[in-house]
Amino acid sequence: MNGWELEKPNEDILFGKKKRIKEYAQQNPLAGTDKKGDVLLIIRKYHPSLNCSPDDPLYRSDTYRMCLAYYDAMSYSYFELPSGLHYTGVEARIDKNTGKAIITIHADGISRTTNVTELYQKLSNTTPMDEDAKMAAFISLDNTVNTVKRAAIEVTEVQSEILGTLLQDEQFDDWWISAPTAIPYLDGQALIFTYTDFNPAEDKAFITEADETIRNFLSLTAIDRLAASAHVYKNCMEFLDAIGYNEEEDALWKIKDPQQIWRQVRYNQCYVSREPYEDQQVYLRLSCECNWEQEHGLQLVFNKQGKLVRVSAEDGDILGYEGDGMIS
């Protein structure tokens, strides 16, 4: 197994179809899940510059990066590992104090325990590192980041002035789900709004800020969506340029009017959450499927004022690293 056999494991986690993930982890010694199957880890080889297998028939490469892939219901990330080690396994468990995954990587008699926050800080795939630096970073992993104990969640519903009652998700206790709500930005199509990573006992200001964010988003119309066409069209064209011409995407290559790009987009739902790393403001993410990036989809990110601030693949981030997808 090369670690690339599964398609869209995030969706399996999100919709509770975890049997396939657990079976895969049992079959692949370099894959692991937590007991519930909320997190999937895979150690695998990546193309030297693209987010794909070096065995991809369209983008073959004789060189590769060894990486750890991390999937949960809302995000997909991968972190560079030293290529000189022989990896023998990876494990995941959920820390009951923080609600986050604790990750243990085994290689050549070495075991290192860490978490996603520490991996972002030390082994991010966006930071160029030579093998010596990767090895030093790997050896230093010790799970000392992000160990604050989480307050208990003792309610099963929260109230929004805009959306009414949001019920606690059955899988994730810090997710809260609304009834479908009509969205003028999408010509009246109704979508569910989900608060994610929200603990009412820890973030007293969240609901007020979320209401402001949702109110301003719902004030937008289809005219505002069409005004954003150039940004979505740009995302499509940049993706096509990166992968090169493929006959299957010929219809996409022929699009010349940016407003026609919306015909290639399908809307899933809206996620509202607080950005955890940079400005820690509340944002709304409109989650979409699109005909060009079928694996990672498309997201439109709106700030509290209702301004579109980012158009990108659904990469697990609200604000793009080093400006990726951000709109100035």
Return the pLDDT at 225: 98
| pLDDT band, residue 212 (cuts 50/70/90) | very high
The answer to whether the beta carbons of residues 217 and 210 sit under 8 Å apart is no
Using only C-alpha atoms, the chain has a radius of gyration, in whole angstroms, of 20
The answer to whether the beta carbons of residues 179 and 192 sit under 8 Å apart is yes
The answer to whether the beta carbons of residues 226 and 263 sit under 8 Å apart is no
Convert the pLDDT of each residue in 41-84 to its tens digit: 999 999 988 888 888 887 888 888 999 999 998 888 899 999 99
The answer to whether the beta carbons of residues 3 and 40 sit under 8 Å apart is no
Return the pLDDT at 243: 79
| pLDDT band, residue 189 (cuts 50/70/90) | very high
Between CA 139 and CA 143 the distance in angstroms is 12
The answer to whether the beta carbons of residues 278 and 294 sit under 8 Å apart is no
Residue type, 74: M
Closest residue by Cα to residue 236 from 290, 315, 286: 290
Between CA 287 and CA 289 the distance in angstroms is 7
Q: Which has the higher per-residue pLDDT, 171 or 174?
A: 174
96-102 mean pLDDT = 85
Measured from the Cβ of residue 238, the count of other Cβ atoms closer than 10 Å reads 11
What's the token pair of residue 73? 């219901």
The predicted model scores a pTM of 0.73
What's the token pair of residue 300? 């439109």
**Measured CA angle at 283 (ends 312, 18), to 5 deg:** 70
Residue type, 198: F
User: Sign of dihedral through CA atoms 66, 67, 68, 71?
Assistant: negative
Closest residue by Cα to residue 295 from 311, 310, 313, 312: 313
Return the pLDDT at 324: 84
Closest residue by Cα to residue 78 from 296, 312, 322, 252: 296
277-300 mean pLDDT = 92
User: Sign of dihedral through CA atoms 206, 211, 214, 217?
Assistant: negative
Residue 276 pLDDT > 90: no
Return the pLDDT at 322: 63
Between CA 9 and CA 37 the distance in angstroms is 10
Between CA 261 and CA 153 the distance in angstroms is 42
Return the pLDDT at 147: 60
Convert the pLDDT of each residue in 117-168 to its tens digit: 899 889 988 778 999 999 999 999 999 865 667 788 999 999 999 999 999 9
Q: Which has the higher per-residue pLDDT, 292 or 324?
A: 292
The answer to whether the beta carbons of residues 31 and 25 sit under 8 Å apart is yes
Between CA 31 and CA 199 the distance in angstroms is 30
